[in-house]
Every structure is written in structure tokens, then in C-alpha cells.
Structure 1
Amino acid sequence: MSKLKLTGKDLRGIGYPEGPVISVAMTVMQKHYKHEAKEDVMALLQKILAAPVEYENDAVLGLIAEKLIPKKDLLDGESISLNQSGIQFNVFGQEHIEEGAMHQMYQAAKLPVSVAGALMPDAHSGYGLPIGGVLATDNAVIPYGVGVDIGCRMCLSIFDINPKELTDKESYFARELGEATLFGSGAQFDRAANHDIMDHALFYTLPLLKHLHGRVWKQLGTSGSGNHFAEFGIIEVKEKDAVLGVPAGHYVGFLTHSGSRALGANIANHYTKIAISKRRLPQDAKNLAWLSLDEQEGIEYWNAMNLAGDYASACHHVIHDKIAKQLGRKPVKMVENHHNFAWKEIWEGREVIVHRKGATPAGKDVLGIIPGSMTADGFIVKGKGESASVNSASHGAGRKMSRTRAIASVTDKQFKEELKKFGVTLLGGGLDESPFAYKDINVVMQSQTALVDVVGRFTPKIVKMDGAKHRNWSKKERPDIVGE
């Protein structure tokens, strides 16, 4: 096996700044990742560049991260103690939730700014808030309460097309998936799509975003990696719901899952560093550092977060518009929702900031999509406005295996047999995203019958995901990407 070879040009090409970090990165990767594929190493280096604060405690990758984190006195902020007893929060499907996620939620509940919270049945550990964590705060926003992939979301187009066509014209639908979007952590189009979002004033007035504008534009309409997907499937509506407004029947559905790409990652990393520098929390809780919406940095983050959310929405609409044009049909209905975001909402008569990190908004009659896995049904849901969950529901099935464990314990044969069993055609994807890595979506849905009504089902048939070959995630897992 040939040894890894990197050049300074390689690193500068993906955005690494001139300086000592380039030689440090080359040395670290060529020593510790010398037998890894270059494309996998470059993808990992991009992740470190986008969010170095997440790698600063890694024994190996921390050497690179520390060169990317600005030399700033982190002891100039105020020292914050957690409350002895935190706020009460409700847990849905507790028997299916790992201890790590519970611990993270207990930590979040002890923050002085916490007002209300809930943990969804698909919850598992992440950074800051657990994935599946919901936290309402008093006039404060927690960058890692939103997550790295700001505005990660679902978008579903329902087409009045006979689902039989997915089988009869499978190669046609597969081709359209391949042409509608690009997958991969650094994926960019050579020719950028047009969308009004790229004219937003923040791209020209906020220094952080100015240098990102060109890259972000070329990523408009791309889908990233991890658990992000674009897929065709069968929609079943058993009876017409007044809110969904789609007559009973079977339809072709086009469903996408992705977020704000490099834009969200850079915003999250930048403002997390500021939050940590301003409010020094105990080590276990440091990624829960917040920014007040009365201070300049908090206002900046809030505006940038909302821009990233609008950008993520634009990415989905660019993809869905391409598909609709190729199908020659307008969707009879579109359903979409964020699940990595913070909202200003009224809670028991007062305005609070509700963070939903890997959780679906489920206010009264609010529509959303909760996917299963590449072989398991997803659900179109209508919120019941349940205060016990802070008007929230799960955002998916949730992982039961880490990426490393999935790669180590699932064989290609098992994977292929599972796809065949459910009649799913997979384009790309890997063992780390196999159905075996996820909880049973039906069990998750049973744990939240008080939170949402099911008004439709989506059965995957042709699934497109990142086509990168399997990789060893043991060096540094990214649980936040798994569910965000």
C-alpha cells in the first residue's frame, strides 16, 4: 500500500491559511494517517478546518486544531457555575436512550439560563446539547445547542405520479437523482446556481462571511455527507387531512435531508469560540457556553444563524426545482422543516429561545417529516402542540450504533441482503449508514404518539447518499453530523 503524500498546495486548496498549520497538518497526517486514502484524509482536514474547537482535545488531531484556533485569552470571560439542581425536563422513550445523552441533557438543565427542556426518543450523544435535545433559554442562544450543521432540514415534494413508475423507469429516476445534487463534504458545483439568498446583506457586511461567499455559492444545492440523502419513494396518504391537504392515495415522493454546508460549520465554530471565551463553564459543559441576545456577538450569531437556515432551505429548493423541472410536474404539496435551529417562541407567557438540536418542531398543526432509515418508512406528521415536549418531536430514528461499530459489525453481504429485502436501490452510501445502525423507527414513533399525529408515510425506493468508500472513523467520530 502506498504511503500518503500531501503538499502545501493541497491544503491551501481546501482553505488552510498560510502559516505553521500547513506543515503541522502535513506532518500529523503523514505520520498517523499514512495508510489512509488521500480523499479521506482531505475530507477529515476539511472538517478540522471548519470546526477546530471540536478537535482541540484529540491527542493527534488537536495538534492541527490548536494552530487554527485564534490565540485568545480564554480566561478573560466570567466564570460560570452550574446550578446544583437543574430544571425539570421530560424524556420520551427513556428506555431507548443511551446514558451519554441523558448526562448531556442533565448538564444543559443546570445552566443558569435554562427555562425548559425535553429529550426526544431518538436521542444520542452529540456536542453541547445531545442530538434529540430540546432546550428553552432566557434571552440566550447556545451555538452548540443548535449544532454545526445549522438549519439541517427535511424537504419533501409530493408528485401526482403513479408510484409504479419508480420501478418501470428506475434508471430514469436514478439518473435524475445523480444530476440534481452533489454529495461529499467538500462538494462544489463548477457553475453556481442562481438564488436571491446569495445577495443577502450579511455576506457583504459580516467579516466572517465575506470570504466564504464564493465557496458557499458553489455549494448551493449540494448535499454533504454523513447521513444526508436525496431519495425517491412512495407516499401513502390514507385519508385527507385538513392541514396536509392532499387527497387519500399513493404518490411519488422526493425527499431530501441536508443542511447549510460550510456556511453553518464556520458560523458555529466561530461563535462557539467566542461564547466559550466569554463564559467559562466546567469542562464537561464548556460546549454549552451561550451568548446573550443583548450583546453584539449574540446578535451577530442570531442573524448569521438565520441566514444559514435560509441558505439551507435554498439548497433544498434548488434541488427540488431541478427535479420538478425534469419530471415536468409541479408538486401537489411540499412539506419541510428545520431540525437544527433556535427559534424565539412564547413559553408559558414569556419569550424564550428554543433550541432544537436534532428535533422536529411540533407546535399545534405544524407539519414535519420524520425519516426512518434507507429501508425504513418515514412519516409526515402534524404537531399536537404538547407543552411537555416544548412543542417538539424526534427528527428521525436515531443511531443505535456508532459509525465505527457499524463498519466493524455489519458485512457487505448483510447490507446488500437488507436492501434487497426491502426493494431499495442504493446509489452511494456505506456500512456506517446501514439500516442496522439505526433504532426501529416504529418504536420511536410509538414513544411520541402524544406529540404528533401521522398524516402520511414515505417508503424509500431509490436512495442517493455520499459515495465515498468506507472509512475508519475511530480516530474522531462526529456524532453531531450523524443526527443533525
Structure 2
Amino acid sequence: MPIRTTINKGRVPVKIYTDQVEYGALNQLANIAQLPIVHSHIAAMPDVHMGIGATVGSVIPTLGAIIPAAVGVDIGCGMNAVRLTLKASQLPESLRRIRSAIEAAVPVGFDMHSRPSIQRKSVAQLDAVLDEILGKHPGLTKMQKPQVWAKQLGTLGGGNHFIELCIDESQDVWIMLHSGSRGIGNVIGRYFISLAKKDAQRHQLHLPDKDLAYFSEGADHFDDYVQAVEWAQEYALVNRREMMRLVVEAIRPHLPEFQVSKEAINCHHNYVVRETHFGEQVFLTRKGAIAAGKDQLGIIPGSMGAKSFIVRGKGNAESFCSCSHGAGRIMSRTQAKRQFNRADMEAQTQGVECRKDKGVLDEIPGAYKDIDEVMANQSDLVEVVHTLKQVVCVKG
């Protein structure tokens, strides 16, 4: 479907690929549109909803500047998926052992490996660049011990991060996972968001929202932020790759012999990147959106009880070659815990081997938009290549 709604309340328009947007998200989008650094327009994906700092599901092109709070604190959060040479019929009747094996191999929540699961020499470049960043900003070490980052490589985290075993329309088996830059990315995000706010106050920038403080090229901290955010994005890619390796090795003893297809996709959906759009080179922030360039593959997950999709981008210029990163929430985590109970969770995740206790009620499928409607609203942005349905889901 084409753009459903356009807001003209700022310097640039906001083009939205749905007509169901909450007031808080509309207000956030209107605030961003007032900034003098925004180029052409802002695009809001069909999973758009109110976020912290900036709207989730927004694509923001900026000229010579970056808004750290728009990138957020889960820098480089994204998806990874691989297809296995297994059919659904080859899976055991009970999948409990598969789930247990994954949970034993990949630390979740705040847990981490007791020692790095990956050889430090294989991430020597990450190590060297982080040392350089910490040398310039020793305050980061007060927020997290430097050695923690290595132990968190190959770990899931919490919230909406997950690992799933899925079946596609051809009965092929897939592994799909969702995670980001873990604690070190959070620390980098919070540290530079705070610096941006202090700089804005010092320079007396007039902002519609203090969270929209930005670094401009040539100004203090801009180059350091670019280096740090690019480091965190690379860390997130490596984290997902290492987690996938651990999952594959963990499930091998419980399944017939199989091979792994080439890595299908390892893509960010919270990040900033240099791209050219509408005649200008910009810093493009995708906050809860994935790249959907012409023929580019991506992953759009549903909730833990719904379908997910492997998609191919159509290179839609108005969306800045982007699409949604998932279904998008329709209620807060607090509201979900208040509105639903364990019986609701069991009903909505029927047929999925997963946690169904009150600790994951905030991730219940009913807290999310209908993924089929989200996909229908972005038919101009992507085409579906594979439709996946999970049979195992591990949550943090």
C-alpha cells in the first residue's frame, strides 16, 4: 500500500505507512520534523509506535548531524536467520530438549558467559578500537567494566530479544534470532545521549524535546560518537553471528545430521548509516526499521506466537529504502502485564515450545499489532520471500 497519512506540522513532512498511530507517536514525529537538520521528510513504518527518545518505526535523514537518542541505547539491535537442511518431519515430537539445549548454550537476561566463548584474536579489531574509544572517554569504564563486553558476545539479553526454531512454507527448518550490542551498546548509547544534551544546553539549542539533542559534524564529540556507534553496530553483528554458532552446535546432538545454508541475513534495525537520498548524502537513522533496498533481503518478525517473514526490498525511495522491523507494540509492557494472565499466554502461544509464565507476559502476542496488517501496509516496500512460523521460542 502507498503512504496512508502525511503530517505537515514541521519544517518537513512526515509520511506514514499506516493510519493507526497513537497520539504520543504523532507528537514525537512532529517534534523531529521541526529540527533544522532533517532532510526531505521523515518516513514512519507501519509498525510505528511511541518510543523513548524518538519514535520506534521511524526513518530519519539528517544533514551533517546525528541524534544519539534516535539511534537509542540498543545500538545495532537486529536479526539473524539461517536455513537448515532439515524438514519439519525430522524434528522430534517433543521440542523441550531443543529449547533446553539452546537455553543452556546461550546466556539470557543479565547473564553472560563465565569466560569469552569467542577467541579474542578473532575480534582483535573490535578490541583495539574499543581501547581507543575508552582512552578518549574513560567515563565509559565507570558505567561498565571493559572486560564484560567479551563475555557478553554470544548472549541474548532480555526484553523482546529471542531465539526461535521456525518452519517455513516449504516445511524447511530455520533458526532465527533477535539481539543487539548488549550492555556495552547500552552504555555507549546512554553516555553519548547525555553528552549531546549537555552540549545542546551549553550551546543554547532550542529543541522541541531535549531528547532530540544532536551532534553536528565538526562539533565536539561528533567524530567520537560516530566511531563509538559504528563500533557498537559491528559488535552487534558479531554477537548475533556468535550466538547463531552456539545455537547450531547446541541443537546438533538432538537432531538428525544437518548442514547450515549460507547466512541468509544479519541485519540491524536500530542504527545509523551514511546513505544518499534525494540528492544528498545523509546520516540515515533507522529506529525500528530495516534496510529494504532493491532486492535486499531482510527479516520482519512477528510476536512470539505469530508469523515472521523473510522479505526482499523493492527500493522504495519515499521510505528511504526501508520497511518495518516487526509488528510493533499496541500497548506498554506494564499494560500487557496488567491486562493478560498466564492462561492468555498459553492460549496465544499454543503449539510453541516456550516460556508461558508471568515473567514473559509483557511479550504476549496480544501486546503487538497484527503482523498481517503490518505486511499489507508495506506491500509497496517489500515482497515476501518466505513465511516462517516458530515452534520453539527462547526469551530472555
Query: What TM-score does the superposition give when structure 2 sets the normalisation length?
Result: 0.88
Aligned partner of 2:129 in structure 1 is: 202
Moved beyond 4 Å, runs of 4+? 281-284
Pairing of 1:432-471 with structure 2 (within 5 A): 432-466=362-396
- The count of aligned residue pairs is 368
The Cα of 1:346 is off from its aligned counterpart by 0.7
The Cα of 1:330 is off from its aligned counterpart by 3.7
Partner Cα separation in structure 1 for residue 181 and residue 363 of structure 2: 20
Q: Which has the larger radius of gyration?
A: 1
CA contact (8 A) 2:106 2:247 kept: no
Q: C-alpha root-mean-square deviation of aligned residues, in Å?
A: 1.9
Pairing of 1:173-252 with structure 2 (within 5 A): 173-184=98-109, 186-195=110-119, 196-197=122-123, 199-200=125-126, 201-207=128-134, 208=137, 212-236=145-169, 249-252=170-173
CA contact (8 A) 1:230 1:256 kept: yes
Pairing of 1:270-285 with structure 2 (within 5 A): 270-280=191-201, 281=205, 284-285=208-209
The Cα of 1:85 is off from its aligned counterpart by 3.2
Question: Per the alignment, in what secondary structure is the counterpart of residue 164 of structure 1?
Answer: helix
The Cα of 1:127 is off from its aligned counterpart by 1.9
Partner Cα separation in structure 2 for residue 325 and residue 84 of structure 1: 53
Pairing of 1:344-363 with structure 2 (within 5 A): 344-363=274-293
Partner Cα separation in structure 2 for residue 262 and residue 342 of structure 1: 19
Question: Per the alignment, in what secondary structure is the counterpart of residue 156 of structure 2?
Answer: coil
Q: Which runs of 5+ in 1 are unaligned?
A: 1-82, 237-248, 467-484
Deviations 1:4-43 (A, max 9, x none): xxxxxxxxxxxxxxxxxxxxxxxxxxxxxxxxxxxxxxxx
Tell me if 1:378 matches 2:298.
no
Deviations 1:354-409 (A, max 9, x none): 00001111111111100001110000011111111111111000001111111111
Aligned partner of 1:255 in structure 2 is: 176
Instruction: Tell me which moved more, 368-377 or 332-341.
Output: 332-341
Pairing of 1:35-434 with structure 2 (within 5 A): 85-94=10-19, 96-115=20-39, 116-168=41-93, 170-184=95-109, 186-195=110-119, 196-197=122-123, 199-200=125-126, 201-207=128-134, 208=137, 212-236=145-169, 249-280=170-201, 281=205, 284-326=208-250, 327=252, 329-334=258-263, 335-420=265-350, 423-427=351-355, 430-434=360-364
CA contact (8 A) 2:327 2:374 kept: yes
Query: What TM-score does the superposition give when structure 1 sets the normalisation length?
Result: 0.73
Instruction: Tell me which moved more, 200-209 or 368-377.
Output: 200-209
Partner Cα separation in structure 2 for residue 284 and residue 350 of structure 1: 25
The Cα of 1:453 is off from its aligned counterpart by 0.7
Question: Residues 298 and 219 from structure 1, CA distance in 2 versus in 1: closer, same or farther, beyond 3 angstroms?
Answer: same
Larger RCO: 1 or 2 (CA < 8 Å, sep 6+): 2
CA contact (8 A) 2:66 2:214 kept: yes
Letter in 2 for 1:197: V
Question: Residues 163 and 84 from structure 1, CA distance in 2 versus in 1: closer, same or farther, beyond 3 angstroms?
Answer: closer
The Cα of 1:263 is off from its aligned counterpart by 1.0
Q: Which runs of 5+ in 2 are unaligned?
A: 1-7
Aligned partner of 2:3 in structure 1 is: none
Aligned partner of 2:5 in structure 1 is: none
Partner Cα separation in structure 2 for residue 329 and residue 220 of structure 1: 25
Question: Per the alignment, in what secondary structure is the counterpart of residue 426 of structure 1?
Answer: coil
